[in-house]
Structure 1
Amino acid sequence: MSTPLAQFTRLIERGFNNGDLTVLDEVVDAGCVEHQFERPGRPAPVVGTSGLVRIITELRSGAADFHLAIEDSSVTGDLVWARLRATGTDTGGQLGRTPTGRPFEITVIDIARFVDGLMVEHWGVPDRLGLLLQLGPFSFAPGPTTT
């Protein structure tokens, strides 16, 4: 049986980076609970693989070059804790907005719980504010400087 980190890595590489949704049957339990809040009107939790199918499909349709890189990870018992870097080019629109054609790079924090080699729960925290600031129309004015 694969370790939780190996299964999590398979999900990221094959599912998110390559768009291979068949990996979900190999690493995600049919009763998996997705706790990641998506947006108003579609809050978590979502049970089963449908939430992950939707998330992967939306990310890859919003940025054809979407990529997740695991930059740091830790395993505590049955939990995988990971810090990832998400990159892409906004070619299809993000968060329900029209495409900007701009590149983006954000941090994502993921926690995944595994039982018997299958992911049974997931919590994801993508830096959506960072994404919006990179793609516009939001920006922050520089703060006052001190001398």
Structure 2
Amino acid sequence: MSQVHMKGTDQQVQLEAFRRLIEEGFSGGDTAIVDEVCAADYIEHQDGIEPKDRNGLKGAIGFLHALSPNIEVKVEDAMVSGDRLWARLKGCGTHSGTILGGPTDRPFEITIMDMCRFRDGKIVEHWGVADRLSQMEQLGIMSRPGQRSGQAE
């Protein structure tokens, strides 16, 4: 982790819960971590994740590992203030799964910005934005204007 800005015990608990979700869940593929670190009434606000609860989050982890079984997601920066955590993540992997037209066997990097709200040490809400356009360009699925799909930059 590059930088972590936090103070106090509550913030440390929040950061640890988030770190476990990223490392054990999104990098490791363990969906059981969701029930450990997310509240039963968890609400997901990120587009593309359905249903908007813990089951949707588990599905997102499964989707990511179907896309790239070797995915590694790291917390690059994180800041905690009160009941909120903001983080910048970087994911790296190879498109070796069968979804999104795969496998292309192309490597990719994706940047994700996350914000979570906590209650009693558990994540109760999440908002996230991932740079999917850049990811699709790297995989050759989409191209920039004036460039054919799959064409190198």
Task: Give 2:39's aligned residue.
Answer: 29
Task: Tell me how many residue pairs correspond in the alignment.
Answer: 136
Distance 1:114 1:102 in 2: 36
Distance 2:33 2:90 in 1: 21
Q: Which amino acid aligns with 1:22?
A: A
Unaligned runs of 5+ in 1: 143-147
* 3-state SS in 1 of match to 2:31: coil
Task: Give 1:145's aligned residue.
Answer: none
Whether contact under 8 Å (1:37, 1:45) holds in the other structure is: no
More helix by share: 2
Distance 1:98 1:122 in 2: 29
Deviation at 1:137, TM superposition (A): 3.5
TM-score of the aligned structures, taking structure 2 as reference length: 0.82
Match status 1:89 vs 2:94: yes
Task: Give 2:28's aligned residue.
Answer: 18
TM-score of the aligned structures, taking structure 1 as reference length: 0.85
Unaligned runs of 5+ in 2: 1-9, 148-153
Distance 1:137 1:90 in 2: 11
Deviation at 1:138, TM superposition (A): 2.6
Q: Which amino acid aligns with 2:102?
A: T
